[in-house]
Amino acid sequence: MPAIAEYVNRIGQNLVLNSGAKVPFTSKAIDSDEVNAFALPGGFFFVNSGLILKADSESELAGMMAHEIAHVAARHGTRQATRGELAQTGMIAASIVLPYTMAGYAAIQGANMVVPMGFLVFSRKMEREADYLGLQYMYKAGYHPTSFVDFFEKIETVEKRKPGSVAKVFETHPPTDDRIKTAEEEIQTLKARPAYIVNTSEFNDVKACL
């Protein structure tokens, strides 16, 4: 739905403005139950509806989006991908600019299925860097940084209760316990603010719509 895509894009643009990304971003929402989001070289950003539904607040959603934006800002996908995979961004870009018609929707769904894994599978060192940068981005954008940890704890619970329910790309991420500990240590170095964005009525409306 256009309203959901517009909402996701607005959060993404705010995070990008507070990041080190050198390219403009275009964000889209994908109708998929899988808890996932991914960004590709060139600033093409997709957020699954499953991720929005799993988040309990806008700041949790923003934290995961900031992590993916950090991968692009740090050029992780470009360094990982082959030339052939980079060429496929043309197809992905075409699907993004299609209007919100059934054909456009189908193309976006198709893009989610054929994205080269070279864009999405990163080393653990890259994942740690994306965690670090993502925390900085969401903090600068005004979101509460502890939400980053909150979502990781949720993912950890999901992994234990229902193995395989989390996106396969998470398999290459550092162990969740380690990521939580590292993020908590990084949060302690951030200067406390009198107020943060935690949740918004618009997030609640979008989640209810989904």
Number of domains in the chain: 1
Confidence of residue 111 (pLDDT cuts 50, 70, 90): very low
At position 210, the amino acid (one-letter code) is L
Nearest to 5 by CA among 46, 36, 39: 46
Q: In this predicted structure, which of 20-24, 47-51, 174-178 has the lowest mean pLDDT?
A: 174-178
pLDDT of residue 112: 46
Please tell me the distance from the alpha carbon of residue 178 to that of residue 189, in angstroms, as a whole number.
Answer: 17
Catalytic residue among 58, 68, 85, 127: 68
The distance from CA 172 to its chain's CA centroid, rounded to whole angstroms, is: 16
Active site residue 131: yes
Strand order in the sheet with 44-48: 26-30, 44-48, 37-40
pTM over 0.85: no
**What radius of gyration, in Å, describes the C-alpha atoms of the chain?**
16
Tokens at 187, concatenated: 């949060």
pLDDT of residue 93: 54
Active site residue 171: no
Tokens at 20, concatenated: 């080190």
Catalytic residue among 60, 85, 127, 131: 131
pLDDT of residue 165: 54
Q: Residue 55's domain spans which residues?
A: 2-209
Q: In this predicted structure, which of 79-83, 150-154, 167-171 has the lowest mean pLDDT?
A: 167-171
Mean predicted lDDT score pLDDT of the chain: 77
Residue 133: Cβ within 10 Å count: 20
Whose tokens are 């599978």? That residue is: 121
pLDDT of residue 169: 45
